[in-house]
Structure 1
Amino acid sequence: MNIQKKLKDLKDQKSYSNPAKRVMEHLKPILSKSNDLRQRWVWELLQNASDLGDNVKARFEITADRLKFSHNGKAFSLDEAYNLIMPDSSKDDAITHKKSVIGQFGTGFISTHILSKIIQIEGIIEDDEQFYTFNFHLDRSERNNKDFLIQSIKDAEAEYRENLEEIEELPENEFQTSFTYHINNTYSSLKGQEIVEDGIKNFKELIPYVLTFRPQLAEVEVIDRRTTTTKWTFKRDEVETDIDDLVIIKTICYKNSKHIEDRLIGNIIQKGTEIAFPIEEIEDGKFQLLPFPNNCPLLFCAFPMIGTSHFDFPVVIHSEKFDPNEARDGIEISQHDLENRNRLIEAKDAFLRLLKIIEGYEWTNTFNISLLFSPDFNDYSVKTWFTNLIFKPIKEGLHKTKMIELDESLIKNKRLSLSQVYIPYTDRRLKNYTEQVTDIYNFAFKTIPTLLPKKDHFLSWYEVLDFEIFTDEKLDLEELTKKISEEVDSLDKFCSEYSMDETAAIEFLIDFIRFILAQEKDELFDKYKLILNQSNQLCYLKGMKLDLIDCKGLKDGYDEKLKDIYYSISDTECRDILLHKDFEQIDGLIEENDKYEFEKLAKDTDEELRNYEGNFQDENFLLILKNLFNWYTTCGLSEETLTNLFRFFSSNKSQLYLNTKTSEELEYAFDIEISGKSEVLAKLANSSLLENELETIADNPVLISNFIEWLNNKQEDHPEEELGNIGEEFLYHRLCQIFGENRVLWEDKSEYDFRVLEMDLTTTKYFIDAKTTGKGIANSDNVPFFMRTAQWSFLDKQQARNKYIIARIFKTGRTIDIKYLRLNKQSLQ
């Protein structure tokens, strides 16, 4: 090789070295950034197309082994086409940015090599009003080999130069420019078909925003020829609206030339910036906000900045004045990036205008524009600036705007702000968090429905809100417990406050307590009054006992009577610490050893009597003692059991009784005792006579004596007739007491005097014949009874079998006793 040849080669190396290096630098991260690039390539191509004209139409054609992108943008200049071959690193990036020409994205175009190592490019060049066709290949097969890339640039340059062909006019085919990718020829680990699928999916989700921000792009087609041919078409149109400040852009979607849907993007412009959000008209002038696509970029510079889906702003921001970072996956907002800062301030102002529209026109589903996160910037000055000028105004706007829809069944046409409502919350890290937050909402809806979003919306609000920002709106289990129990300390107040009857209120509390137990939040029971006691008060769990006040043989209701007696003598209501009977069904609420047993209540009552130091003649104490005497004698427990439980009372009943009497009353008792009539008077006191009847007897002793004297004389004057009548009358009343008046028939037949019927009132249970004597029962063994011949009529054997009874009535003085004799059925054999 001669020296001249070497000098030429050296010149070539110097000329092509920097472009090759630039290409290599942009090819290098293709694998590491493949997740972003598999969505970005489609926008790089559309960017190239729309930079080259107005009313641009573009087309993606997909086959089994290739993807072809075509457009009808204006012709390239020589420099623009050449820049695709050899990106010019010497250009002033700021200048090319302002021009918004393809040169700005020459390096971005390199990233489309994620589809294929080799790109075939065809197009039209306009130079001095003369048109030329061209085509060439960009071969980047060895992306890390600089020498290979230098040679590749040379080959493409030569092909470009050689294939330039002058034409007299533009061809009729509207798609004059095309980029063809052989998608089976990709870099290692990449799969061309999957990359195409991801890019087209991302395109279909975001094309409404791109058509909104890029009016030069009028129509885009996607033709899939891999199996059957399917053609998708997306067109841009503007929609008229009467709402000031609001611009609506419609993307009309066709499939195989059939109109399938319209997608609306609302747009508010603030100087050089605009915000965008998906909407749907539900009635004239009223819209509902729709959700953004998953992982939707929130920053657009005409096209999406892939990687900005987590930018801290509730809606999409677009500005062609944005200054993206080199990777075009975000913006810098340091104190030196005033252009970007001004764009964000304008976006914030536009968003606050949107909130006024939402409130004024009552737009629905507003949770879709309420996603906000706490600022997260490493640079403290940047974080402070963003927090004060962007974040806080937006938070305050979301907080105060009346955009929360309430349940219409409760309140018609009323909306509240976030500051006025609660949003049910539970830890999102839990596997079943959706079920838990739904349970919280359902419990809350039964108690505070006017402070909650409508049922169809609460889960969406829960998913959207950052509860580290909106802390006061968080209705977690503890906050709900606090809200339910505040100002409500009894069952009556609970029912009144929450418009429930007692049954519904108790069922609600039981279900809610079970839910708390299931979440293992038992500590709430000792912080908030939720537990119902037997006094129908709501209490803390601590100190509550299971009611085991029961004893074998104790009559029904006598446990409650003893509680009343204990309360009356001790002024301590044991029901205050006893779990409500209905709450005993809640498993795991109270430990088994936390119990209050009958033995303790009995002994506590007995101990209170032992230690009583009050006035024994006090009416209240007399009533207590009377009730206890009555309980003691009628409760159904054995004397042994009662003596063991009520040791003091059992051994001091008489003394307790005497302690209740005045001196005068004690003299009365003494008079009774020495009269020898105490037993008789006790019978009289325990009889069914009423108190006024006893007073009549006491006030008329002469009258009673005369009656008794007449009774005795009557017996003596008519010893058989009168005595028999008196005996039968006494027996009749006694039988009525035993069997009931409707079952006793006083028939006074010769064979018998009374017939007692079975329960069916048709068949006979007993035949009873009364025999009365004026002698006492003590001498009954020697007292015969006589039967006249007229009485010698007897029942036949079948009638009398085991049913015939003789009632022997002993009347001596004022005392009457009865003994019954059933005839031995053996005598009837």
Structure 2
Amino acid sequence: MEEKKILNEADLARERQRSESEARSIIHDLDRLYTFPEERKSRWVWELLQNAKDVADKDGVDIIFKLTDDHLIFSHNGLPFRIEHLIAILYKTSTKSLNGEGGTTGKYGTGFVTTHILNKKLKIAGVHENTLGKRRFELEIDRTAAGLDESIALNAMQDSLSTSFGEIDEISKTPPEEINTTTHSFTYSLTPSSRIYAEKGLQELERNIAFTLLINQGPEKSINSVTIETPSKSTKYLASSKNTSIEDIQYISSNEDAGILYHTSGKLTFGVPVLEKGITYRLLPIENQAILYKEFPLIGTENFNLPVFIQHRDFHPTELRDGIRTKKETENTEDPTADKNRKALKEFIAAYIPFIQKLITAKVEDTYHLAKSGLPAFVENYSNVSWYEENIQKPIREFILDQDLVKTCSGAFIKIEQAKFPSIELIEDAEFYSLLSRLLPSQVPDSQSILIWGEIISQETESWKNDSTIDTEDLVKLVPEHVDVEEEKSIQWLKDLYLYLEYKQLIALGEANPIYLNEANTFCLRDQVAIHPTIDDEFKIVSKGLGRDLDDEFLNRKLGNVSSIKQFELTEFYNHLNKELISELKPESASEEQVESVFRVCCLFRSDRAAKRDQWYLIIHQLLPHLAPEKRMVTVDYDNYWRSAELWSIKYICHLLEKTQKPSVFANTYFEGHEESCFEWQNSFLSYIFSLKDDYSEVILKRNIIPTQSDEFRPYDEYVFAESNHEYFDDVIKDIYRDFTDKSEPRRFLVDTRISFDGLRTREVDVLTKEVDKLFNDPHIESKVKKGGLLNEMFLKLNNWYEQVFDAGNYLPTFSTKRATLYVLALGEGFSKQIMEIQNSGKSIEDITELAKIKLSPEEMKMFESAAAELGTEALLAKAKEMLGAKHQIERWKTIGKAAETAFEDAISGLDANFRIDNPDRGKDFELILEAKGYSIEIKSVAKGKEDVRMSALQGRTASKNPANYALCVMTRPEDDQIVDKEYFIKESRFVIDIGHQISDKIQNWDAGLQKLIIDDDVMVYLDDKTESIYVRRDIWRNGISFNEFVKILNEYF
């Protein structure tokens, strides 16, 4: 009896401890629920789903989750409860095997307590079955004691467990009843806070439902359907599989057109989410969904970084069911759990790579998702990193790298190593992606895939085997090579780039990389360009010709204003243009382009009110029409922009004068030998020079530019002057000065008599006679003057000059005193005899006087006398008369030509237009100028019957260079003495306005051929007297337009 009492005490103590332990364990587990990470607070849904599946009958189970405003009701039609199931729910005990096998994930037990995150109290309604039969029951499980003060919580929990246990015992004793339909439900009242976890759990279920249904199909314990009801909708999820045209790959639909392409082999099932599109599919990303599955998802593997759901029946999950462990202490250590999981993953890799190949071959869309192959999150917690990289990641990536998976913006598919991706920190920068994709459309992934690719490439970037990412600095380095500046879209791209760099405060990149497009369409550093100012293009042309191409300095105008680019300093530019580019340029070494540029400035006018400048323009236009073709109106906000150019052009012309050395050569070179026009121009030129300020003119006049009577250019020094009383300076006095004094040739310091303008220094003839008069101070002068003496002939010539000069005595005082005596000596002893011979000749003194007037030497008169004796006087006179008539005819034609020009001027001046009429006489007779535009006219007169018109080479070249504003005017000469006036000219003239076009080819061919003859090869042909003419046939000019029609053309032109 005593022994039985001891045993009862032991049993009671053990029961008491067991009861306390069960209550304490439940309290602790409930307390831990609220310390779980948020993602684990939704685990309740999988616990309920597992429990439902574990009681599925051979036909499977249908499950319903119903969420109302304040309740969650979970129901299914699984097998009836057995008493051990209810006990397991009450006491948190598990019915699963140690190794997790045996076809059960554990009925109720330890995991079921996680459902109390919804409420610590729940109501279970369902069917119970024992050997006696079935019966319906309701049971309330109350865990609210866990929330009491710890001093009373344990007893309260024990009491609650005891009460529930008694209710379970009573259920088993309830009489059986006939039940045909089995339905079980678990009802949780919700608070506002617990309803949040209810919603999250159902959302997690919906995200993972498709693959969950797929892997829970089969001959044993399958889930037929899952229905989720909420106040807003009700959705029933069914597993509906079908075959596809892709070998060994099936499709299961989860809802509408979404589903999973999957492959099953033995214990392994894996699949990828897709949208069904007719006969093909489009891959979808796995977002916030578990990757690894046992029977249900292992929540916590959402970041396993593979694009595929994987389920293997040999997976051995962790206790928290948040992953699988492949990590081993050492590789050689036996570890059944890790080894089993490793083997399962290797089986997956072996089947997965052929699976990928089949999807690519079948042209499934968006296969770029398959490139996702990063290491799992927290991989070091579950796996040896090196093992995972070598056995899982490496095989996948090696295969992926060999596939054309990247769909670019251009629509082509390329390999990863050929593609360019935004760097990781820029992958979500839409503006950067826009720039990169437009720059490299054949290398950058399209907009649909770029974010996924960013995620893919960012995972263990080094194992992708190439530097495939581009940051902002890399982008700007690509600009010169990849931006096609000829395309209009490139301009917009550059604008966007500059705005992006400014917004990101990265404009410093433009200081080291040439990304700013200039006006010359080349890329420059930021500090090398400036905003294109308001500047007339004429100055850009000038500056370029002088070696400073402003297009290299100006930001391309198409780009508009870029705030990071400095403004261009126009004043500084004009200063540089004048003080350095022009002023420091040496005329002697200037290139043709530089010369043209400086002269171009001389042709630029802000207005027509610039008389002084206009005067200079006309001077250079007449001399060098190819350098100063026409005036151009410009807009410029800089005073005296022309001054340096004008001074330089003066120096350049001085250089030309000095280069030719002689006025005659200058006339031949620039005026076709027309000396009258040449000296008319020189008068204008020198007059202009003398009108300049002293500090300018003094420097210029030191150049050899003054034409002297010795046919050379001399500087204007104190020993160079013009003649005063020109009639006194005849050749006699100059020759005597040159030949008999010890001075030089006087013509070298005497300005050419054709030069005459105000301000030119002059000297009296005494500058010569003083030195000549000194000759007569010689004590031996009488012997030198007498006939046969050294100065005899000189004396007689000087005496003759003396007799012709009114006040010669003032210029030759010594000579005047000795003249009479010296004159007798000069005539000699035979002088009286010569007088007698004249008297005996039979000729009167008047005849002798008339003969003296004949300007022929005795030798020339003797030649005429001999010709008359041989030919006869009549014949000789007839020939002379014929020649004289031809001379008169030529003079008449010149008179008519001049009259025609005068008539033209009269006719034009009567028009209602404010023309200025110039007569440059170089390549054209007239130039009509109105508002800086010019029109040239060459006038020719022809006789009837001889109607071919001859143009000089210069006229032809001038016409061919200006075909749009050059006309040939031809007037028929009157046969009688009719006066050529305005009316006659208007009636008889014809204008050929396209003469420049008609003769252009011939002029060009002639010049090219002549140049080739002169300079080609080692043997040269030189034409000493190149006289070229262009003959215009009468059919051309007769078909010309009338004067009135020509006037209309002028009006249209101006």
Q: TM-score, normalised by structure 2?
A: 0.55
Alpha carbons 1:49, 1:71 under 8 Å: kept: yes
Structure 2 residue 84 is matched with structure 1 residue 84: no
One-letter amino acid matched to 2:510: F
Select 1:120's aligned residue among 120, 123, 127: 123
Structure 2 residue 441 is matched with structure 1 residue 449: yes
Shift of 1:457: 4.2
Which residue is equivalent to 2:348? Answer: 347
SS at match of 1:731: helix
Distance 1:464 1:386, change over 3 A: closer
Alpha carbons 2:404, 2:413 under 8 Å: kept: yes
Distance 1:395 1:437, change over 3 A: farther
SS at match of 2:274: strand
Select 1:288's aligned residue among 282, 290, 293: 282
One-letter amino acid matched to 1:355: I
Which whole-Å CA distance do the structure 2 matches of 1:273 and 1:233 have between them?
A: 27
Which whole-Å CA distance do the structure 2 matches of 1:725 and 1:307 have between them?
A: 109
Shift of 1:547: 5.4
Shift of 1:421: 2.8
More displaced 10-residue stretch of structure 1: 508-517 or 235-244: 508-517
Residues 489-534 of structure 1 show CA distances to partners (whole Å, capped at 9, x for unaligned) of xxxxx25xxxx54x45444434443343333332332444332233
Select 1:606's aligned residue among 568, 578, 582: 582
1:629-648 equivalences in 2 (<5 Å) = 630-636=599-605, 641=640, 645=644
1:509-658 equivalences in 2 (<5 Å) = 509-546=494-531, 550=535, 556-567=536-547, 573=549, 575-583=551-559, 585-590=561-566, 597-606=573-582, 608-610=584-586, 616=588, 621=590, 623-624=592-593, 626-628=595-597, 630-636=599-605, 641=640, 645=644, 649=648, 652-653=651-652, 655-658=654-657
1:254-269 equivalences in 2 (<5 Å) = 261=256, 263-269=258-264
Shift of 1:663: 7.7
Which whole-Å CA distance do the structure 1 matches of 2:212 and 2:669 have between them?
A: 113
More displaced 10-residue stretch of structure 1: 113-122 or 45-54: 113-122
More displaced 10-residue stretch of structure 1: 355-364 or 451-460: 451-460
Distance 1:635 1:50, change over 3 A: same
Which residue is equivalent to 1:239? Answer: 242
More displaced 10-residue stretch of structure 1: 467-476 or 580-589: 467-476
When Rg is computed on C-alpha atoms for both structures, the one with the higher figure is 2
Shift of 1:28: 1.9
Which whole-Å CA distance do the structure 1 matches of 2:296 and 2:402 have between them?
A: 33
Alpha carbons 1:135, 1:160 under 8 Å: kept: no
Shift of 1:730: 4.6
More displaced 10-residue stretch of structure 1: 592-601 or 302-311: 592-601
Distance 1:714 1:449, change over 3 A: closer
Which whole-Å CA distance do the structure 1 matches of 2:277 and 2:901 have between them?
A: 98
More strand per residue: 1 or 2?
Answer: 1
Which residue is equivalent to 1:416? Answer: 414
Which whole-Å CA distance do the structure 1 matches of 2:36 and 2:477 have between them?
A: 50
One-letter amino acid matched to 1:561: I
Q: CA RMSD in A?
A: 4.6
Which residue is equivalent to 1:212? Answer: 214
Higher relative contact order (CA 8 A, sep 6+): 1
Which whole-Å CA distance do the structure 2 matches of 1:583 and 1:173 have between them?
A: 79
One-letter amino acid matched to 1:193: R
Alpha carbons 1:297, 1:307 under 8 Å: kept: yes
Alpha carbons 2:529, 2:565 under 8 Å: kept: no
1:231-380 equivalences in 2 (<5 Å) = 231-251=234-254, 261=256, 263-269=258-264, 271-284=266-279, 286-292=280-286, 294-335=287-328, 336=335, 337-374=338-375, 376-378=378-380
Which whole-Å CA distance do the structure 2 matches of 1:105 and 1:5 have between them?
A: 32
Shift of 1:386: 1.9
SS at match of 1:99: coil
Structure 2 residue 167 is matched with structure 1 residue 159: yes
SS at match of 2:55: coil
SS at match of 1:269: strand
One-letter amino acid matched to 1:416: I
Structure 2: give runs of 5+ residues left out of the alignment: 148-152, 329-334, 614-638, 687-882, 917-1054
SS at match of 2:563: coil
Which whole-Å CA distance do the structure 2 matches of 1:63 and 1:729 have between them?
A: 110
Residues 543-575 of structure 1 show CA distances to partners (whole Å, capped at 9, x for unaligned) of 33455595xxxxx543133224312xxxx6554
Q: TM-score, normalised by structure 1?
A: 0.68
Residues 620-656 of structure 1 show CA distances to partners (whole Å, capped at 9, x for unaligned) of x473565256335323378782686469737844543
Which residue is equivalent to 2:679? Answer: 679
Which residue is equivalent to 1:72? Answer: 77
Shift of 1:298: 2.0
Which whole-Å CA distance do the structure 1 matches of 2:160 and 2:352 have between them?
A: 49
Shift of 1:4: 9.0
Residues 730-750 of structure 1 show CA distances to partners (whole Å, capped at 9, x for unaligned) of 533555696579xxxxxxxxx
Shift of 1:98: 1.9
Which whole-Å CA distance do the structure 2 matches of 1:723 and 1:243 have between them?
A: 102
One-letter amino acid matched to 1:535: A
Shift of 1:462: 4.8
Structure 2 residue 442 is matched with structure 1 residue 440: no
Distance 1:327 1:671, change over 3 A: closer
One-letter amino acid matched to 2:542: L
Which whole-Å CA distance do the structure 2 matches of 1:598 and 1:713 have between them?
A: 50
One-letter amino acid matched to 1:69: F
1:138-149 equivalences in 2 (<5 Å) = 138-143=141-146, 145-149=153-157
Alpha carbons 2:510, 2:525 under 8 Å: kept: yes
Which residue is equivalent to 2:198? Answer: 196
Residues 262-318 of structure 1 show CA distances to partners (whole Å, capped at 9, x for unaligned) of 54222223553332322122122x2111243x4212222211222322223222222
**Percent of pairs identical after alignment?**
20
Which whole-Å CA distance do the structure 1 matches of 2:669 and 2:41 have between them?
A: 114
Alpha carbons 1:401, 1:417 under 8 Å: kept: yes
Which whole-Å CA distance do the structure 2 matches of 1:361 and 1:341 have between them?
A: 30
Which whole-Å CA distance do the structure 2 matches of 1:289 and 1:606 have between them?
A: 71
One-letter amino acid matched to 1:35: E
Which residue is equivalent to 2:186? Answer: 179
One-letter amino acid matched to 2:387: W
Which residue is equivalent to 1:26? Answer: 29
Shift of 1:221: 5.0
How many pairs align?
Answer: 664
Which residue is equivalent to 2:789? Answer: none
Shift of 1:135: 5.1
Distance 1:18 1:711, change over 3 A: same
Which whole-Å CA distance do the structure 2 matches of 1:534 and 1:449 have between them?
A: 26
Select 2:402's aligned residue among 400, 403, 406: 400
Shift of 1:239: 1.2
SS at match of 1:450: coil
Distance 1:127 1:660, change over 3 A: farther
SS at match of 1:142: helix
Distance 1:707 1:366, change over 3 A: farther
Which whole-Å CA distance do the structure 1 matches of 2:312 and 2:281 have between them?
A: 25
SS at match of 1:147: helix
Which residue is equivalent to 1:772? Answer: none
Residues 138-182 of structure 1 show CA distances to partners (whole Å, capped at 9, x for unaligned) of 22112263333333333322221222047668721132x332323
Which whole-Å CA distance do the structure 1 matches of 2:685 and 2:252 have between them?
A: 101
Which whole-Å CA distance do the structure 2 matches of 1:364 and 1:707 have between them?
A: 102
Distance 1:548 1:599, change over 3 A: farther
Which whole-Å CA distance do the structure 2 matches of 1:648 and 1:203 have between them?
A: 93
Distance 1:319 1:18, change over 3 A: farther
Alpha carbons 2:134, 2:179 under 8 Å: kept: no
One-letter amino acid matched to 2:240: D
One-letter amino acid matched to 2:498: I
Distance 1:670 1:271, change over 3 A: closer
